[in-house]
Amino acid sequence: MASSASETAVQVAGDKYRSFLDDEDHVHKIQWRHGGPPIFDSVNKLFEEGRTKEWPKGSLEEIVQNAVKSWEMELSHKTRIQDFKTINPEKFKLIVNGRQGLSAEETLEIGSYNALLKSSIPEEFKYYKAEQESFESSHDAFRSAFPRGFAWEVIAVYTGPPVISYKFRHWGYFEGPFKGHAPTGELVEFYGMGILKVDESLRAEDVEVYYDPAELFAGLLKGQPISDDQTLETASGCPFHK
């Protein structure tokens, strides 16, 4: 699932976990969603402090971990499929928990959170209604809940290219309001499995993700209900403490 980052960058920003953010010629040709390449310092710090594995440089695990982070970066911060370097756009499909696959354009239109959180359960039982959220509103909701970011790591890799299977962990600290629930400050995390089919250039053709959304929402719904006014006040905070 997507990681949060500062979105105020206007200069080229290299990143040791995400490809293509240190390629100046490439960066300046991109149409960035927020006007410039993102900065991931906050979520990188969270990742380094909270990861359970530190993979050797050049290992298959590190390559898979960085490849997924790079793909998520492109999906969250680029606005045109032709600017993506991590996927084969003609063949790409995102399949979540066995649902019908989404094309590259469909995934880019709704955003990673909505793609990962769509559900066929009855409306009255849904924790999160992806079909009612836009790309922007979904990212705003999770940036609010996890102001330090939502970190992601590879726990294990079971098979190598061209069909890569792996286990992952996603985590953050619930320190901001989420959908009318007050923050608890507690760690929220979940685990899942991924299957990544790549071409000869290691571009993703199929991405399959399997996980239990209840693991995520169990932490986010623990917060006490708050009013809309309280949500706005908590989200905006005092400008002198930014």
For the chain, 242 residues long, the average pLDDT of each consecutive 10-residue run is: 41 73 73 92 98 97 96 96 95 96 97 92 85 95 97 98 98 97 98 97 96 95 78 39 32
Alpha-carbon distance of 150 to 142, in angstroms, equals: 8
Beta strands 93-96 and 204-211: pairing type? parallel
pLDDT, position 80: 96
Q: Of 154, 158, 167, 165, give the one whose Cα is nearest residue 197.
A: 165
| pTM beyond 0.95, yes or no | no
Name the residue type at position 235. A
C-alpha dihedral sign at 20, 46, 141, 206: positive
Q: Of 133, 114, 32, give the one whose Cα is nearest residue 73.
A: 32
CA angle, residues 21, 71, 116, in degrees to nearest 5: 140
Q: Of 127, 138, 104, 134, give the one whose Cα is nearest residue 181.
A: 127
Burial of 142 per CB tally in 10 Å (0-12, 13-18, 19+)? buried
Across the strands, what pairs with 178? 181
For residues 56 and 62, the answer to whether their CB atoms sit within 8 Å is: yes
For residues 173 and 148, the answer to whether their CB atoms sit within 8 Å is: yes
Burial string for 54-68 (b: 16+ CB within 10 Å, else e) reads ebeeeebbbbbbbbb
Q: Of 66, 42, 240, give the one whose Cα is nearest residue 149.
A: 42
| CB atoms inside a 10 Å sphere around CB 181 | 18
Helix (H) or strand (E) holding 196: strand 187-198
Burial of 4 per CB tally in 10 Å (0-12, 13-18, 19+)? buried
